[in-house]
Structure 1
Amino acid sequence: MRKPLLSLVAVLGLAACATEPTMGPPPPPPSGPVAVSIAPNIAAALSDPSRPAADMIRDKDRHPGEVLTFAGVRQGAKVADLIPGGGYFTRILSKAVGPRGHVYAYVPDELTKLAKREPAVNAIARDPAYSNVTVVLNTLPNFSTPEKLDLVFTAQNYHDMHDKFMGPADLSVVNRQIFKALKPGGVYLVIDHSAEAGSGLRDTETLHRIDSAVVKSEVTAAGFVFEGESKVLRDAADSRKVGVFDPSIRGKTDQFVFKFRKPSR
């Protein structure tokens, strides 16, 4: 405890400390994700009243604003949402790119045959509020869209493409096709659940996770340049040893967000 009475020397010393820079090592960086300024078009898309309430509830765990700002989604962009599931990101992308942009919700035929029903994202494409969304049904290795793209986006799906129910798909072919579909300078953004380092493809079917080093190696082998990672979905509390659907970890898995770019030349 500090004594209630201080000598004049001590008081002057404290005053000096308050006005002069201290020597020694700098303070440690703050823990946790660094705050990101969300792009205005993306912020507007997140608050759009046509979004389902259930989607908005998921925003606190999925951080779509930070993720799509990192991806560089802009108005007028042409985007593919690869394996869109229920369309959580499809809706956001649609509003973020605006009427001059377009979103191609790419659903592999392999998934449609497995589900034995029409893709859930079809309902979004039929909704007049999302008139710039087109569903593309095609086999996965033959990835292609009607026009060149600014962004190919896939969230929590890369590991699935290695699963046996998807073929498994030949990712060397898939990634090359994505490379061809992008404009020079276009971005390929991959989000997925992290497996243990060095585990390779061991956990893709059992835990629905993938070693991030495998993703980086496969995508760069197709000609992409690794541009960086957003750590907004990182979670050190995840042991990476439990399946992503386990109630103890669902919605709180450690995930990597990798940004790859097709060279401009």
Structure 2
Amino acid sequence: MIRTLSAALACALLAACASTTPATDASPSAASTAATNTELATAIAGNWRSLEETARDVYRHPAETLALFGVQPDHTVVEITPGGGWYSAILAPYLRERGRYIAAVVDPASLPAGGSRDYQQRAKDGLAKRFAEAPAQFDRAQFAAYDPKTPVFGAPNSADVVLTFRNVHNWRMADQAEGMFKGFFNVLKPGGVLGVVEHRAKANVPADDMTGYVGEAQVIALAQAAGFRLDARSEINANPRDTKDHPNGVWTLPPSNRHDPADAEKYRAIGESDRMTLRFVKPAR
């Protein structure tokens, strides 16, 4: 049965777990859950995160989102195409002592020469530079370079959690989405979690849609076709102010702000895009 969590309930997971009696013997103790919450809060509050990054917490809700996805400090977590490392700056320090953080990036060598290869090389180099400049937080972070045509993110059944934030639209436009979801399924352990956050369209959109939005039913269908079971969905990252009819799609909104300067206040008042937040599970059998 799919569980629907409100934002308020997701927040309560962090605040109230310490006083909640476990439902079963397999559940973590209240003390261990409280310790986990403290470790996550410490990572989110870390002074290695820039002011620009922390300013986006109000839109991205990292504590509530990672609580929904069940990320624990001893997990092996694969984050797919982490970009500039917004979530890396939380996850890598959080997992540093007992877990394992893996940034899965496109292998530039798998792409033909040109702009796309250069872009992916700059992205990889930029993230590696960030990791190297703060070894106390990132010295144990690892990279997994993958070919988007035949994506492999690690040894089969080796990851506890796979996370992807606002990437599915790119894979759909490149006709890579099915292969990516199959790759997620393969690298996860039985019972492992796939966490997806994506810009949410009003309804299904064509594969070549250029707005950056994707239908929630389309993302669910992709995951289910790869073998996943939808386990939870949440409105943690919803934004009802997003009308989804902007001239430059999601990139009209913050933080990209591809709009006329005269419209700055209008789009600032909207904020970042409306987003679905979905948790899938790889069946144990």
1:103 equivalent to 2:113? Answer no
The alignment-based identity, stated in percent, is 26
Q: Is the 8 A contact 2:238 2:275 kept in 1?
A: yes
- Contact 1:45-1:92 at 8 Å conserved across structures: yes
- SS of the counterpart of 2:178? helix
Which protein has the larger Cα radius of gyration, Structure 1 or Structure 2?
1
1:222 and 2:220 aligned: no
Matched, 1:144 2:153: yes
How does 1:24-35 map onto structure 2 within 5 Å? 33-35=7-9
Deviation at 1:48, TM superposition (A): 1.7
CA deviation digits over 1:160-202, x for unaligned, max 9? 1122xxxx24322221121110011111111111112132435
| 1:41 match | 39
Q: Please state if 1:161 is matched with 2:161.
A: no
- The residue matched to 2:276 in structure 1 has which SS? strand
Runs of 4+ in 1 over 4 A off after TM superposition: none
Q: CA deviation at 1:114?
A: 4.3
Which of 255, 260, 264 in structure 1 is aligned with 2:280? 260
CA distance in 2, matches of 1:66, 1:33: 7
Q: TM-score, normalised by structure 2?
A: 0.74
**Distance in 2 between residues matched to 1:52 and 1:75, nearest whole Å:** 22
Q: Report 1:1-265 matches (<5 A).
A: 33-35=7-9, 36-37=11-12, 38=14, 39-109=37-107, 110=111, 113-115=117-119, 116-117=121-122, 119=124, 120-126=126-132, 127-129=134-136, 130-140=138-148, 141-145=150-154, 148-163=158-173, 168-201=174-207, 203=209, 206-242=210-246, 243-246=249-252, 247=257, 248=267, 251-265=271-285
Partner of 1:26: none
**Counterpart residue type for residue 70 of structure 2:** G
Using the TM superposition, name which of 138-147 and 93-102 deviates more.
138-147
Name stretches of at least 5 consecutive residues in structure 1 with no aligned partner: 1-31
Seen in structure 2, the aligned counterparts of structure 1 residues 118 and 83 have a Cα distance that, compared at 3 Å, is closer
Deviation of residue 81 (structure 1)? 0.9
Q: Residue deviations 1:19-54, cap 9 Å, x none?
A: xxxxxxxxxxxxx83251333322111012222222
Structure 1's 69 and 102: CA in aligned 2 closer, same or farther, altered over 3 A? same
Tell whether the 8 Å contact from 1:201 to 1:211 is kept in structure 2 after alignment: no
The equivalent of 1:23 in structure 2 is none
The one-letter amino acid paired with 1:117 is R
User: What's the TM-score, normalizing by structure 1?
Assistant: 0.79
Amino acid at match of 1:45: A
Q: Unaligned regions of 5+ residues in structure 2, if any?
A: 1-5, 15-36, 258-266
Cα distance in 2, alignment partners of residues 258 and 226 from structure 1: 7
> Could you say which residue in structure 2 is the equivalent of 1:10?
none
